[in-house]
Amino acid sequence: MTLDILRYEGGHRIKSAIGLSAAFALMALAFVAFTPLITTDVAASAQFEQVMTDLPQPFIEAFGLESLSSLEGLLAGEFYTLFWAVFFGLYLAYTAAGSIRGDIDTDRMDVLLANPVSRGSVLVEKFLSLLVPILVASVVTPAVIYAGTLFIDASIAVEELLMVHVLSIPYLLCCGAIGLVLSVLLDSKDTAQNAAIGLLFSLYLLESFIVATDFGWVANIAPMNYFDANEILVEGSYDFVSAGILLAATVVLIAVSQVRFARMDIQ
């Protein structure tokens, strides 16, 4: 077999990738459409200034409240921080968590491994099929956002818009790799998928609220600590080192998954 598993799994993910991309595109378009109203109200609101003064800094950073006065800030602080990073990351971790364990639970893995294919290639090709929803959504979403800005009195830096998607790919792959590890460590598909959602959301909360404390170094274990949409879209700064750390973490997690999968009794 030569990438047959990748082609099969990737083909099965196209329909969900289109649906997911449509959902992200519509959500992003809503943010773009309401930007003139939101940014104008925020800029002129004394009450908002008071709220920003009263709220603790970790809460403000967690929900991107400090950058609501511009299109880039609104997209980075709300859409890319919450919907893209959190929900897309959860979806990929959940999907990956069911990839190996799901086939074992339904006895499909026995049939698959009866063919001349190694367990390592099965695992890697199933994981790489996650690139289908990632790449489709990463093409559709920025295109819709850019087209949406043409109909309102606002513009957006195309380079920063593209870079936020490019640099989100290592982050999203790392989220998927976390789900993959759980898929070979836990004893049922449901347990693995529930654990993936719980673990990733816990890491998001940890990174959001502990980073401004004396124990901020603990946030380094969370993949969210290495992807900052505000830094890219608002400040125009690209952190390739963090992207490299996420890719390295992804490779390590896949390697751990391979070792565990190779030693598993799937009978």
What's residue 53's pLDDT? 65
* Alpha-carbon gap, residue 261 to 183, rounded angstroms: 9
What's residue 206's pLDDT? 87
User: How many domains would you assign to the chain?
Assistant: 1
What's residue 54's pLDDT? 65
What's residue 96's pLDDT? 96
Please give the full DSSP string across 74-118, using - where no structure is assigned.
HIIIIIIIIIIIIIIHHHHHHHHHTHHHHHHHTTHHHHHHTSS--
161 burial class (0-12, 13-18, 19+ CB within 10 angstroms)? Answer: buried
What's residue 265's pLDDT? 80
Report the chain (267 residues): mean pLDDT per 10 consecutive residues: 85 94 94 80 62 62 64 87 94 95 90 89 95 97 93 84 96 97 94 96 87 79 93 91 97 96 83
CB within 8 A of 63, min separation 6: which ones? Answer: 77, 78, 81, 82
What's residue 2's pLDDT? 72
Domain limits for position 82: 4-263
- The pTM assigned to this predicted structure is 0.89
What's residue 38's pLDDT? 73
* Alpha-carbon gap, residue 134 to 21, rounded angstroms: 9
